Structure 1
Amino acid sequence: MQASSNVWQQVLAVDARYNAHRTLNNPNFRTQYIRRRSQLLRENAKQHYDPSIRQQYLRVRKQLLAQRYGCAPSEGSARSQSLSVRSMSQATLDDQETIRGAGNAPANIVPTSVAEASRALVGDTSIVENYSFAGVHHVFETHTAAITRICFANDERARLAVASLDGKLTICNVAPDANKSSVLLVLTGHSQGVTDFAWSLSNELLVSCSLDCTVRVWDPNSGECVRMIDDIAPVLCCVFEPLNNNLVVTGNERGMIQVLNISTGKQIKSGSCRSNGAALCLCCESNGRILWVGDDKGYIFSFLMDLMSGKLVKGRRILVCQNHPITSLCARAWVSREARDPTLLVSVAANMFCLYRITASDGMLQFKKKFPIRHSSKTMLRSNFCPLMSFRQGACVLSGSEDACVYLFDVERDSKPCVNKLQGHASPVTDVCFNHDESFLASADSQGVVIIWKREHANDPKKPMVPH
């Protein structure tokens, strides 16, 4: 049964890989399509078909999609491609092992003809041109304490969630007309600061954690708290298991990592481990098999997770910077079409954030590059990947900084990698994120202010842009 289910996961992986080529002017249709395919394949996985029939279907499906769109994915990708709608065009760790080959040498980072069509989707312009901004679009000043986390809903352009140390979460609408942007909901219930939150894949649920030693599950459409789960210590980070949104992983101040079943509100048996110090941040590989934890001692721990049971098995321990807190982790299956290494982005309270290459199926990391920013242990800063970067020549990441600026870096530039610097905050910028089509960038600071930046000519990618 498990083997048959895996075949359907491979089928969905192939569909997700080609999804970027469907109805280029209608991204909402592409999202609905892949979600419906996921639903149908889950239903079919319950039927007892001959495994050979499923394998034959997978082969035929690959051939038809390749003929229809004129390109073919690499052989290894369908086997372990992320099923998340957020990572439709990403390769996986198994892909990279195929690319590197038996000699384990890194793939060459050179432009390829494969990327040309995808670059055309975003205007075929340079990195600097693509990341010029028209200025401040809107400012939200709802919160009275530092913002700890901001994140747009998955595959949505306008809905933004914001968490703060004032104990509240807000759901905001970022409208194309700045005057119509508004706060939709204020989620109240935590008695102390909210340290982290995460959207479920379908955006039907939102999970948050707090210094009040609780984890809460919310309905982001009504604002209702549908479940509260107690912990023994302040909970500092949380994340949904990407392929099983009934499971949530949390990390607390004592270094306990726990997998929770949000339907029952109970901890999963064999779903707990420890880090050296306080668990400050969590991140899952897109297919959910690897979990990374960053602590306040400067270590990253990897854990292997069973997608069905939630069982955790300790993998690796990687020292990043002794006694300098790891404040943010973000994984991406590839950096760009020219640099196809699976990568982990790491924010370190040592005036830098770093890129690490994921080198093994147990979550082992190899240092790749670092970028300078102002970041001391006084502030929890986050960095992030730009969601559309794999469609361009070059690849960008962005980070907040204690100098009150937002920085965008091209990870493939060896000299002068900073492609833009946004100034508008009056205090340290704690978190940054793009919406799914990069039309809006949100940044938040330690005074509770959220600024929405609009990309210059975001709705007209063919129109030339002048960098700021």
Structure 2
Amino acid sequence: MDALIQAYDDRDEEEEEHESYHQQPQKRPKFVSASPLSLPPPLPLRPHSQPPLPPTSAGVPGRYVSKRERAAIAATALAPNPTSPVRPPLELASVLNAKLPHRIQRKLDHSLGNAGGCNRCPRELVTKLEGHSKAVIAVRWSPTHGALLASAGMDHKAYVWNVWESPAHQMGRCLSCHTHALKDIQWSLDGNSVLSCGFDQTARLSDVETGAQTQVFSESQVVNVVRFHPLEGNLFITGGSKGSVKLWDVRLGKFACEYSKALGDVMDVDFSPDGSRFVTTSDIAKRNSSDKSLLVWNFATQIPLSNQVYLEAYTCPSARFHPFEQCFIAQSNADYIAVFSGRAPFKVNKHKRFQGHQVAGYRIQCSFSSDGECVVTGSADGHVYFYNYRSTQLIKKIAAHQGVCSDAVYHPSLPSVVATCGWDGIVSVFE
């Protein structure tokens, strides 16, 4: 037996294949049965020996399988089976169907039934949302889901937060479709998508539920601001670094028209509640051009309705229309918020302004509460300031961030709930 094994191991592989096809298989010698104690010990396996393989399709009992055939059979066994089912990828937890805590849901139901109630200033910090690695420029509440908050950061990312979840589940979606820092973010009217823009010269529409990018709107300028039309959910406006203001149609995937009037760097855009007008703020550095720093446009005719609205030699990084009155406010780099009439000739109210906070050249944004009775703004000193809209008196200020507080927005349905963001990379929620 040892001699037979040695003979097979020493022969060349080509000789093995040749002889296996031209010689009849030898009969195995018959051993006389003996008691278990008299059986010889099993032969040790050689280092190069392999475990037995299943017979081939042409398997003849007792046929010797060469090394080449064994390698081919092993490769076939390791190859993936195309007919085998592919395991589907892990599904992300739903964001839009997330349930609100009972306490928040009760407050939301109460506020919907008392929409005319006066908003109150928040009293304490509820939660800090940490995920951005650089400054956060803008925060926006979802118009349809009371717990969702979107933020845009200088770290090229936008996040959708489920505010009242546990800290481990607050980050609902991370939208990383941009290649450069972001400048602004907005929710679609149905609350299913977010529109973001930034230094990569694009505005990008992303699906909140899947986190996937759905459309890209490219420009030849840095896109500073995006705003959806308040009534037409398929239309939005962008403003950029070269002074171009464009109207885009989501259905067409391209811009429908361009509002041009030798503008400077467009810093902000906001629609009137009925969508018939919008205001643009620009950073005008040219001499004798301050009359173009704040303009009101007719949305349908693409014609500016105003000139010389704001004559001071300061830029306005932010502007917001009142929720239902014919007026709008504009943040000034002179460290105050001015009030303007919403009707032609759109004059500034010289007897009404909100001052006490600091702008210091930063893009500090301001906004109204949902009932229009409070004005909230960020500040360069890291605080968030609350003013009474009627009396212009400072109601309260709260320390919110280490460094610049760049944006502050009231919740659209929950009174006294405010979200802020800052250059420390943190999004804070106060209640």
Q: Which residue of 1 aligns with 2:367?
A: 384
User: C-alpha separation between the residues in 1 aligned to 2:115 and 2:109?
Assistant: 18
Q: Does 1:300 align with 2:294?
A: yes
User: C-alpha separation between the residues in 2 aligned to 1:405 and 1:272?
Assistant: 36
Opposite residue 164 of structure 1, the aligned amino acid is G
Structure 1 pair 260/384, CA: closer, same or farther in 2 (3 Å)? same
Structure 1 pair 326/375, CA: closer, same or farther in 2 (3 Å)? same
Opposite residue 141 of structure 1, the aligned amino acid is E
Which string of whole-angstrom CA distances, capped at 9 and with x for unpartnered residues, describes residues 143-167 of structure 1? 1222111010114321000001111
2:422 to 442, 445, 468: 445
Opposite residue 181 of structure 2, the aligned amino acid is G
Contact in 2 for aligned 1:344/1:358 (Cα 8 Å): yes
Opposite residue 225 of structure 1, the aligned amino acid is Q
Contact in 2 for aligned 1:148/1:163 (Cα 8 Å): yes
Q: Which residue of 2 aligns with 1:229?
A: 217
Contact in 1 for aligned 2:357/2:385 (Cα 8 Å): no
Measure how far apart 1:28 and its partner are. 6.6
Q: Which residue of 2 aligns with 1:57?
A: none
Q: Does 1:426 align with 2:413?
A: no
Structure 1 pair 192/357, CA: closer, same or farther in 2 (3 Å)? same
Contact in 2 for aligned 1:168/1:188 (Cα 8 Å): yes
Structure 1 pair 186/321, CA: closer, same or farther in 2 (3 Å)? farther
Q: Does 1:351 align with 2:359?
A: no
SS in 2 for 1:312: coil
Structure 1 pair 318/153, CA: closer, same or farther in 2 (3 Å)? farther
Structure 1 pair 266/447, CA: closer, same or farther in 2 (3 Å)? same
Q: Does 1:312 align with 2:302?
A: yes
Contact in 1 for aligned 2:145/2:191 (Cα 8 Å): no
User: C-alpha separation between the residues in 2 aligned to 1:139 and 1:318?
Assistant: 42
SS in 2 for 1:172: strand
Measure how far apart 1:275 and its partner are. 4.9
1:198 to 168, 186, 199: 186
User: C-alpha separation between the residues in 1 aligned to 2:339 and 2:188?
Assistant: 26
Contact in 2 for aligned 1:301/1:317 (Cα 8 Å): yes
Opposite residue 411 of structure 2, the aligned amino acid is N
Q: Does 1:272 align with 2:249?
A: no
User: C-alpha separation between the residues in 2 aligned to 1:248 and 1:439?
Assistant: 29
Measure how far apart 1:323 and its partner are. 4.2
Opposite residue 202 of structure 1, the aligned amino acid is D
Q: Does 1:150 align with 2:132?
A: no
Structure 1 pair 413/178, CA: closer, same or farther in 2 (3 Å)? farther
Q: Does 1:244 align with 2:241?
A: no
Which string of whole-angstrom CA distances, capped at 9 and with x for unpartnered residues, describes residues 85-121 of structure 1? xxx9xxxxxxxxxxxxxxxxxxxxxxxxxxxx876x5
Measure how far apart 1:353 and its partner are. 1.4
User: C-alpha separation between the residues in 2 aligned to 1:253 and 1:277?
Assistant: 7
Aligned length: 318
Structure 1 pair 303/148, CA: closer, same or farther in 2 (3 Å)? same
TM-score scaled by length of structure 2: 0.68
SS in 2 for 1:314: coil
Opposite residue 129 of structure 2, the aligned amino acid is F
Q: Does 1:411 align with 2:398?
A: no
Structure number with greater Rg is 2
Give me the CA root mean square deviation.
Answer: 2.6
Contact in 2 for aligned 1:199/1:206 (Cα 8 Å): yes
Contact in 2 for aligned 1:138/1:178 (Cα 8 Å): no
Measure how far apart 1:218 and its partner are. 1.2
Measure how far apart 1:202 and its partner are. 1.3
SS in 2 for 1:430: strand
In structure 1, the gaps of 5 or more residues are 1-24, 32-87, 89-116, 335-340, 390-394, 455-468
SS in 1 for 2:260: strand
User: C-alpha separation between the residues in 1 aligned to 2:111 and 2:251?
Assistant: 29
What is the 5 A alignment of 1:17-56?
none
2:318 to 325, 328, 334: 328
Opposite residue 299 of structure 2, the aligned amino acid is M
Structure 1 pair 424/287, CA: closer, same or farther in 2 (3 Å)? closer
Measure how far apart 1:136 and its partner are. 1.3
Structure 1 pair 159/273, CA: closer, same or farther in 2 (3 Å)? same
User: C-alpha separation between the residues in 2 aligned to 1:221 and 1:321?
Assistant: 46
Contact in 1 for aligned 2:323/2:368 (Cα 8 Å): no
Which string of whole-angstrom CA distances, capped at 9 and with x for unpartnered residues, describes residues 361-413 of structure 1? xx724325211144345311001101134xxxxx2111000111111001222
User: C-alpha separation between the residues in 1 aligned to 2:122 and 2:161?
Assistant: 24
Measure how far apart 1:180 and its partner are. 6.7
Opposite residue 136 of structure 1, the aligned amino acid is L
User: C-alpha separation between the residues in 1 aligned to 2:198 and 2:347?
Assistant: 29
User: C-alpha separation between the residues in 2 aligned to 1:343 and 1:319?
Assistant: 13
1:255 to 233, 240, 243: 243
SS in 2 for 1:207: strand
Q: Does 1:398 align with 2:376?
A: yes
User: C-alpha separation between the residues in 2 aligned to 1:434 and 1:353?
Assistant: 17
Q: Does 1:141 align with 2:130?
A: yes
User: C-alpha separation between the residues in 2 aligned to 1:29 and 1:387?
Assistant: 15
Contact in 2 for aligned 1:333/1:343 (Cα 8 Å): no
Contact in 2 for aligned 1:296/1:323 (Cα 8 Å): no
User: C-alpha separation between the residues in 1 aligned to 2:262 and 2:408?
Assistant: 26
Structure 1 pair 204/165, CA: closer, same or farther in 2 (3 Å)? same
In structure 2, the gaps of 5 or more residues are 1-105, 285-289
User: C-alpha separation between the residues in 2 aligned to 1:321 and 1:143?
Assistant: 38
User: C-alpha separation between the residues in 1 aligned to 2:266 and 2:233?
Assistant: 21
Measure how far apart 1:30 and its partner are. 11
Contact in 1 for aligned 2:132/2:425 (Cα 8 Å): yes
Structure 1 pair 179/233, CA: closer, same or farther in 2 (3 Å)? closer
User: C-alpha separation between the residues in 2 aligned to 1:443 and 1:320?
Assistant: 28
TM-score scaled by length of structure 1: 0.63
Q: Which residue of 2 aligns with 1:15?
A: none
> What percentage of aligned pairs have identical amino acids?
18
Structure 1 pair 246/165, CA: closer, same or farther in 2 (3 Å)? same
Q: Which residue of 2 aligns with 1:286?
A: 273
User: C-alpha separation between the residues in 2 aligned to 1:212 and 1:293?
Assistant: 22
Which string of whole-angstrom CA distances, capped at 9 and with x for unpartnered residues, describes residues 179-220 of structure 1? 576110010111111111211211122211111111111112
2:326 to 329, 332, 342: 342
User: C-alpha separation between the residues in 1 aligned to 2:251 and 2:186?
Assistant: 16
Opposite residue 244 of structure 2, the aligned amino acid is M
Contact in 1 for aligned 2:159/2:174 (Cα 8 Å): yes
Contact in 2 for aligned 1:429/1:446 (Cα 8 Å): yes
